[in-house]
Amino acid sequence: MSRSSTGAKVYSAAVIVLSLLLATILLLHRFIPNRWFNLGSLAETFLPWFGLAVPVLVLLAAIRRRPLAIVCALLPGLVWFQMYAGAFADKHVGEGDFRVVAHNVNAENTDTEGTAAALLAAEPDIIVLVELTEDQRLAWGDLLDGQYEYSVAYGTVALWSSYPVVDSNEVDLDLGWARAFRAAVEIEGEQVAFYVAHLLSVRVNAEGFTSAQRNETAELLAEAIADEPLDKVILAGDLNGTVQDRALAPITYQLESAQAAAGKGFGFTWPAESPMARIDQVLFRGLEATGSDVLDATASDHRPVLADFSF
């Protein structure tokens, strides 16, 4: 057997192995262990981007014109398409009965007026803001209090509403300062429980994907939502994780993503200039999501998200 023939077989075998590995990761990502560097959660955070490897594998297989290698290279593409084809359908059905806009404004954002103008242009009935400094909260109050009769704020998170806020309370995430709260808002005679939250950040460093503290806050928030007496629930804010991240499963098992139910595309929100992940969420139950969008970038490092709901 010639050396070139052996090299071609090794080349094709490598393409086949890589293709099968990619298909396996896509299909069985839930089984990637978090024991080492939280690799499972890291993979799930950026899972849609794994599809970019498919055309590369197909091209590498086509160079050698090996039918088996080409078929294997197409396999992860089929798996990816099966997983995400529904994301590209436009599921908007209308404006609904009320509109929510949520935004991580960024504690270093100095353009409060410009950011507020961008959010108000969407004509929301309820505005949810997270990562507010005390000075920012006062500045936002000056801009919004005249347009929204009701508001509530705890620590670095706040909500402004055109509808009455019946009651509210902090959701204790065991941090020593407030990053989440619950507010009951009465909308057209119906009470809706709004949970506003900013879970702790994650980091990718020498220790891997460090998210232990984020995961603990997610579990505490999930417990509060599980005990919620109202049927209609909305969770809005920065969860520092995608709905595919298994660490957020205690929350996502209870609530549905407005983007998945009524949006189009992946709805990436972070980082604002070139979004790679959807970590800013509007999740719900007991309502119908009629629309979901990501708004244009503001002076924050996150993009705002919008969701319309109907009873």
- pLDDT band at 9; cut points 50, 70, 90: confident
Strands 98-104 and 126-130, sheet pairing: parallel
* Exposure letters 172-191 (e unless 16+ CB within 10 A, then b): ebeeeebbbbbbbbebeebb
Residue 67 preceded by cis peptide, ω within 30: no
pLDDT for residue 36 is more than 80 = no
> Using one digit for the tens of pLDDT, what is the confidence trace for 41-54?
889 999 999 999 99
pLDDT tens sequence across 220-265:
999 999 999 999 999 999 999 999 999 999 999 999 999 999 999 9
Residue 206 reports pLDDT greater than 60: no
Is residue 1 pLDDT above 70, yes or no? no
What six digits make up the tokens of 107? 């504690």
Beta carbons within 8 Å of 94's beta carbon, 6+ residues apart:
290, 291, 308, 310
Q: Lowest mean pLDDT: which of 63-67, 165-169, 215-219, 279-283? A: 63-67
Query: Residue 184 — left, alpha, or beta (φ > 0 → left; ψ -120 to 50 → alpha)?
Result: beta
Q: Is the dihedral of CA 102, 106, 107, 112 positive or negative?
A: negative
| Of 99 and 212, the one with more pLDDT | 99
If you average pLDDT over residues 104-117, what whole number do you get?
98
Backbone angles phi, psi at 303, to 5 degrees: -95, 145
Confidence of residue 67 (pLDDT cuts 50, 70, 90): confident
Residue 194 has pLDDT above 70, yes or no: yes
pLDDT category at 175 given cuts 50, 70, 90 is: very high
What percent of the chain is predicted at pLDDT more than 70? 96
Whole-number pLDDT of residue 211: 73
pLDDT tens by residue, 112-134:
999 999 999 999 999 999 999 99
Average pLDDT, the chain: 93
How far apart CA 182 and CA 168 sit, in angstroms, is 5
Amino acid at 241: G
C-alpha distances in Å from residue 119, one per residue of 83, 136, 183, 301, 303: 32, 15, 21, 15, 10
pLDDT at 59 over 80: yes
**Rounded Cα distance, 178 and 290, in Å:** 31
Burial (0-12, 13-18, 19+ Cβ within 10 Å), 1: exposed
Lowest mean pLDDT among 98-102, 167-171, 243-247: 243-247
